[in-house]
Amino acid sequence: METRKFQITSRAEFERLAAANPDSLTDLERAARFLYLQRLAFGGKVAGRNFGVQTCGGARFDVTRLGPLLEEIHARLAGVTIECLPWAEFIDRYDSPGTLFYLDPPYWGSEMDYGAGVFARTDFSRLALRLSRISGRFMLSVNDVPQTREIFSRFAIQQVMTQYTVAGGKPSDVPEIVVTGPSADPTPAAPDLLSL
């Protein structure tokens, strides 16, 4: 890992690390690989990463800033427990009357952006059903399309505008919805929703 202090920003290195099998790496090497790829990926995507370059300013991965960046990350995560479970299992394990869940599923139509097998289109309906049964409360953000409005229609929905900038381009306004609950509709789930 000592050679990481000489890490440069290049398309060739990005492609080499993207092609590397993470299972063959140590935990530390896997974390360094992830950070390098995330800092340089176009649009910050986790799956289907492409090398992104900003034509103004320096490289987005600067090894001389890595130490301070990791110290800042460490300070922000001090006292935080990180859990890695499938979303349904996570909700079941941590649901209580005092729990507030924040959920950020992939956009409708971009389900593969979080990786293969992580969240399928059918999971939107499964999630809505699961959220209608929790003891706690939740807040969920997702893109504003007719399908997401229909699936989460039993809950309070508010449209918000957010801005996206990709590769330093001009910001564009994009509508999202913020869905909150518990359910405003106590009626049973629609028959087309999958039961968990």
What pLDDT is attached to residue 1? 44
Whole-angstrom Cα distance, residue 196 to residue 185? Answer: 19
Which of the listed CATH numbers 1.10.3720.10, 3.30.390.30, 3.30.460.10, 3.40.50.150 matches domain 87-181? 3.40.50.150
Q: What pLDDT, in 10s, does the model give residues 134-171? A: 999 999 999 999 999 999 999 999 999 988 765 556 77
Compute the average pLDDT of residues 28-33: 80
Spatial CA neighbour of 29 closest among 17, 41, 39: 17
Taking CA atoms, 4 is separated from 7, 119, 188, in Å, by: 5, 33, 55
Angle at 40 between CA 38 and CA 45, to 5 degrees: 45
Entry field: residues in the chain: 196
For residue 103, give every residue at least 6 positions away whose Cβ sits within 8 Å of its Cβ, in sequence order, or none. 87, 127, 131, 138, 139, 140, 141
What pLDDT is attached to residue 191? 38
Ranges of each domain in the chain:
2-77, 87-181
What pLDDT is attached to residue 53? 59
Q: What pLDDT, in 10s, does the model give residues 50-106? A: 666 555 655 666 666 667 877 888 899 898 888 889 999 999 999 999 999 999 999
Whole-angstrom Cα distance, residue 132 to residue 138? Answer: 10
Q: What pLDDT, in 10s, does the model give residues 166-186? A: 555 677 888 999 999 986 555
Whole-angstrom Cα distance, residue 47 to residue 38? Answer: 10
Compute the average pLDDT of residues 33-58: 66
What pLDDT is attached to residue 3? 47
